[in-house]
Structure 1
Amino acid sequence: MTLDLTGITSKAAIHQLFKEKLGFEDWYGPSWDAFWDSIVAIVEMPEQLTLTNWQAFAEQCPRDMEILRQVIQDYAVEMAPKRIVLA
């Protein structure tokens, strides 16, 4: 599965995209802890989730991008062979 992050320039926007496209629960809110819980225990994730056009998000939200990169690394360890890829 590929998610295009074109136009995503805020933490709220990226979390809304994840909620809509990955089928997160209604209670899901814009937090990285909720994101982690959702991808490892609540929804069935694809074998590979590819995030494209993420550069504008990284520029506008450098701290959140740093957290997302850490989540991607932790996910690769915890959920192998499933993975999240920045392309």
Structure 2
Amino acid sequence: MITIDVSGLHDERALHRVLRRELGFPDFYGNNWAAFWDAITGLVWIPGHLRFLGWDQLAEDVPLGAAMLRRTLDAYRATYRPELVVEFEGGREH
């Protein structure tokens, strides 16, 4: 399991920096949602359990980024890894 603290982030740029660091994306990661999709589907192995801390604050401060992260992980699960568990502190568990 990887636990990622997303509290205290105030823009998508910071969110992508945290995702790159915590998920081990390469230095050439493009810091956008298309690049995130490419990274999780072909560049790095995502562990079977992700846990996001501070989700409610992220959803309030960076609503579009939070929605895109959730949507992209949902699509990844539906397409490639239905067994993947993603938890959002203060939100629903997948």
- Is the structural similarity TM-score above 0.5? yes
Match of 2:86 in 1: 84
Q: Structure 2: how far apart are the matches of 1:83 and 1:32?
A: 20
CA contact (8 A) 2:25 2:39 kept: yes
Instruction: Within 5 Å, give how 1:11-30 maps onto structure 2.
Output: 11-30=12-31
Q: Structure 2: how far apart are the matches of 1:17 and 1:56?
A: 15
Q: Give SS of 2:87's match.
A: strand
CA contact (8 A) 1:72 1:83 kept: no
Poorly superposed stretches of 4+, deviation over 6 Å: none
Q: What TM-score results when the alignment is normalised by the length of structure 1?
A: 0.87
Instruction: Within 5 Å, give how 1:2-81 maps onto structure 2.
Output: 2-78=3-79, 79-81=81-83
**Unpaired runs of 5+ in structure 2?**
90-94
RMSD: 1.4
Q: Give SS of 2:8's match.
A: coil
Q: What TM-score results when the alignment is normalised by the length of structure 2?
A: 0.82
Q: Deviations over 1:31-83 (max 9, x none)?
A: 01111111121101111111111222211221222212211211221222124
**Unpaired runs of 5+ in structure 1?**
none
Q: 1:71 to 1:54 in 2, by over 3 A?
A: same
CA contact (8 A) 1:9 1:56 kept: no
Q: Structure 2: how far apart are the matches of 1:67 and 1:30?
A: 13
Instruction: Looking at secondary structure, tell me which structure has more helix per residue.
Output: 1
